[in-house]
Amino acid sequence: MAEDRSMTAREAASNVIALEHADVLRESVAVMVREIMEAEIAQLAGAELGERAPERRTAQRNGYRGRRWDTRVGEIELQIPRLRTGSYLPSFLEPRRRAEQALVAVVQEAYVNGVSTRKVDRLVEQMGLRGLSKDHVSRMCRALDEQVAVFRSRPLEGAYPYLWLDAKIERVRESGGVRNKALVIAYAVHDSGIREVIGLDVGEAETEAFWSEFLFALKARGLCGVRVCVSDAHVGLRNAIARVLGCRWQRCTVHFLRDMLGHCARSQQPMIATAIRQIFRAESGAEAREHLKEVTERLSEPAPKVCQLLEDACEELLCFYAFPREHWPKLRSTNPLERVNKEIARRSDVVGIYPNDTP
């Protein structure tokens, strides 16, 4: 539980990476442990691999031995250095050590927040490598940084016809009080049918400028072919979608229904919710428009505000009917992001208020 209480908003975002891209994290953890083993064996041998230092050398290397290591990001095939005399067990394999957890946490956060030399240094200390030189720590940082850079700037090849955008507001403690920050997520379906988180970021606020910067970054990586973008009706987000992507926009029907229930009496809510849901379950766009017309006529007296909002939002609510029928359930709301949001919410429920969000 201690690691949850100390988690930052960016670390919560890193759990999204762990959820969707375990293979990427696994490769980066493998790179880090390889560097750690080389650093440890160099200390034991008194020399780096390939270095001629007879005056300092205390042992000779003797190749490698394979071993499988189960981690929270999957199984890693280790190549553990061997010595001609004596034995060597990597520090992260020693029993009762939480090195694997610390190592994975550092790698996860690096994918969201960038590589922190300070945190890698702290990781080295946690693993009992206090005698490690600055050059060794720098080498570990460079190795991880290369992996992170490849992932965060990885090209988005091919078309992504369906894109979902959402944001969660997290409370972050900073000097002077508690502030809200926005964690934004882009989830997409590739032409091949593969679904993935293609981007996420943490910003000061969910503004049009922040959303635009986020979407421009996705386009710079190659995002194209977006036919429809699904989101809530946040004005800044809508404007950013129109400005940067220029694609069709589907308003999330779940968010819309929730908003409508705030414009009527509690006693009216079940009846209004049933009527509105009927619109989104029609067999065609034409039938949905007929249902919408009937609903507005029926509710014109008991809920005139709801009727007006329904009529105004007709096209953006029924946009999903222009796409293949089998895709309708996914395209009419941001529910495909629900699994990702639940993971973040689970962390947020434990933390309550995140500590300072600085690296």
Region 250-258: mean pLDDT is 95
Please answer whether residues 308 and 295 qualify as being in contact, where contact means their C-beta atoms are separated by less than 8 angstroms.
Answer: no
User: Are 47 and 53 a contacting pair, CB within 8 Å?
Assistant: yes
Residues 52, 179 within the same domain: no
Helix or strand run (H / E) with residue 5: helix 2-5
Which residues, in sequence order, are CB contacts of 162 under 8 Å at separation 6+?
188, 189, 226, 227, 228, 230, 327, 330, 331
Give the C-alpha separation, 36 to 196, whole Å: 31
Express each pLDDT in 216-246 by its tens digit. 999 999 999 999 999 999 999 999 999 999 9
Are 341 and 203 members of one domain? yes
Whether pTM exceeds 0.85? no
- pLDDT(347) > 60: no
Q: What is the C-alpha separation between 152 and 148, in angstroms, rounded?
A: 6
What CATH number is associated with residue 210?
3.30.420
Same domain, yes or no, for 67 and 145? yes
Rounded to an integer, the average pLDDT of 306-327 is 95
CB-count exposure of residue 255 (10 Å: 0-12, 13-18, 19+): middle
Same domain, 42 and 133: yes
Question: What is the rounded end-to-end Cα distance, in angstroms, of the chain?
Answer: 21
Q: In this model, does residue 134 exceed pLDDT 50?
A: yes
Whether residues 60 and 101 fall in one domain = yes
Judged by DSSP in three states, 87 sits in: coil
Domain that holds residue 227: 157-246+335-359
Same domain for 339 and 328, yes or no, is: no
The one-letter amino acid code at 178 reads: V
Average pLDDT of 17-46?
77
Task: Check pLDDT > 80 for residue 262.
Answer: yes
Q: Is the pLDDT of residue 15 over 60?
A: no
* Count of domains for the chain: 3
Both tokens of 96, joined, read 């009762």
